[in-house]
Structure 1
């Protein structure tokens, strides 16, 4: 059966010897804008393309303010800093995520708490969050404290896995009830919408990634999305070392970060944004083809969950068990089709093995079964 899967995927991509998991596509003004950037000599953190890229993302997502960063991980870190997450605090997130989510929490000196996901979204479960907060926490002096660790809980960070939106309205209602900041790790979900609203614009702050394997890329890069313009302007100030604007003096008024996206990367991003609608259309067409093929083959293909208009960044199949998963991975990768398992659960990694969790029933089930398959835009 897996031989037919390999043949089909290679046919979709024109029968190459090797099919990558997610390759970038440069079919527009990328070279033109890069040349303009080089000719201008403004190749670092100052230049017209940075501002233009931010404006394009604002217009597309509907956020009030977008702030470009060097990568998605430091965008996550800054989102936590802006949410007043400090050393000794706790942040609730999911164990089924890319490690940047947990690492950014650690950069603040805070501890992650890993709660279960839903099987259909692969993202943080509102039911698990509500159960944890109602049974394992208490409110004191206007703050939420973990009754087991004694630490203050400051924020909740769900992740829109593979571009499939989590149940944001339910999570937001719970966070509002408990006074917790809601930060969306939307690194994988540019072009995804939940109930008509772009992911990353529902919580207080959202974070995008433009790594080389994302739907659009700036080589490396990230973006902060804000519902509040003033907070966005403060974030932009912090990304440039908190330098007070002046023609020649170097005065800094708070602890800042060297997180500003270079103009070169933004030039690439502007060209990529121009083709985003086409990329998304072709990715959805690929997902439809996969859905039909795997359905006929008796293999479960991961569909977008209810209320999610997903970008299908990385397509995935759900196999019967860990043994089937490993056979699928071995046979495809041995025959020129790149596939990969979903991430190792964060609490299984040595640096996070001490962190508090719930039973993680769904996360464990998914870890044993989910495999990503080639998802590059077909041209």
Structure 2
């Protein structure tokens, strides 16, 4: 059963949250700096390498790639820049179309638009909140044709170049099936892994199913570099191009300045990477603690007859943001008002991209499940509790 607006359980839920996090104000997801962050920052300052050249950048890239099982990591200034670059690297061009999901953060679609490409939206699965492989296949079979070895949108004549599913709140979508469909139709798979560091399908990390993926380390993510993002890939040539393109397309030379194409000033500064290196050291402990918090939410919701959203069998979520389902929009809004007025930060899921003016005219498949979820999903506080900080000490 889902939560009803008139149900006294909303008060019990707030009390339960305060039992985990203490008295208000309680934020949705706060950063935690209990490791070597200060030490590594001072070390970077003392080295005089504070911008995009520095040992910590290389170290952070190596740590992240090793953790995910990817061969290469290329650090960027933020997740949107990483995704923009990833789309360029798989060959998305102006006038192309990119299939994504309307239930996502706006950065996913902004990155597509930066290139002059256009998003096409297919529905999500209700349990994963991520792209539905059935919806993807249905749209492709109904709306495209093969033309000269390319998949082309019958209605627009545009090439369908890439597909960008997103692992919502760290819950893996059905990425294996999506990868098979993309391969069948000759479409590049670019994973938006902004929220899913530490999430797995079986024993395989999200971001390693397609040609390339983009992570985010914004201040509200499971680990943070203040800003920051990361491209991961197993393709050596793509990795080489990623480093070149994000470093203003400058050819390496001791003193000459020669840029062989339009590039981007997208490389992550060494100071931010220093934070990332320290955060990677405590990531395993953070994942364990967040799994314990999620388990407490799950048990409470089960006892109270509430619907806690959890990862499907065979997958592991990083539990970045915990969420519950309400009966309808009125019940959702009632709880959002009640909780935030008590100083407990909760939030709804994003507005669908098709409800934003810049994407309102994009082609879509009706988005039945996405619309159902928008009316019902609420995120709950999901930080590492302060009582657990000692477990994060090196």
Task: Give TM-score scaled by structure 1 length.
Answer: 0.99
After TM superposition, list the pairs within 5 Å mapping 1:162-241 onto structure 2.
162-241=169-248
After TM superposition, list the pairs within 5 Å mapping 1:209-288 onto structure 2.
209-288=216-295
Equivalent position of 1:58 in the other structure: 65
When the two chains are superposed, the root-mean-square deviation of aligned CA atoms in Å is 0.7
Supply the distance in 1 between the matched residues of 2:313 and 2:361 (Cα, whole angstroms).
34
Q: Aligned with 2:232: secondary structure?
A: strand
Point out 4+ residue stretches in structure 1 off by more than 3 angstroms. none
Q: Aligned with 1:371: secondary structure?
A: strand
Supply the distance in 2 between the matched residues of 1:312 and 1:121 (Cα, whole angstroms).
13
Equivalent of residue 5 in structure 1, options 2, 6, 13: 13
Deviation at 1:83, TM superposition (A): 1.1
Equivalent of residue 317 in structure 2, options 307, 310, 330: 310
Deviation at 1:230, TM superposition (A): 2.0
Equivalent of residue 140 in structure 1, options 141, 147, 154: 147
How many residue pairs align between the two structures? Answer: 378
Equivalent position of 1:97 in the other structure: 104
Deviation at 1:58, TM superposition (A): 1.2
Supply the distance in 1 between the matched residues of 2:231 and 2:44 (Cα, whole angstroms).
23
Equivalent position of 1:41 in the other structure: 48
Task: Give TM-score scaled by structure 2 length.
Answer: 0.95
Q: Aligned with 1:200: secondary structure?
A: coil
Supply the distance in 2 between the matched residues of 1:324 and 1:36 (Cα, whole angstroms).
51
What do the CA deviations read for 1:187-225 (whole angstroms, capped 9, x no partner)?
000000112111011110011000000000000000001
Supply the distance in 2 between the matched residues of 1:241 and 1:254 (Cα, whole angstroms).
8
Equivalent position of 1:295 in the other structure: 302
Deviation at 1:142, TM superposition (A): 0.7
What do the CA deviations read for 1:175-198 (whole angstroms, capped 9, x no partner)?
101100000000000000112111
Equivalent position of 2:339 in the other structure: 332
Q: Aligned with 1:201: secondary structure?
A: coil
Structure 2: give runs of 5+ residues left out of the alignment.
1-8, 389-394
Supply the distance in 2 between the matched residues of 1:106 and 1:88 (Cα, whole angstroms).
10
Deviation at 1:237, TM superposition (A): 1.1
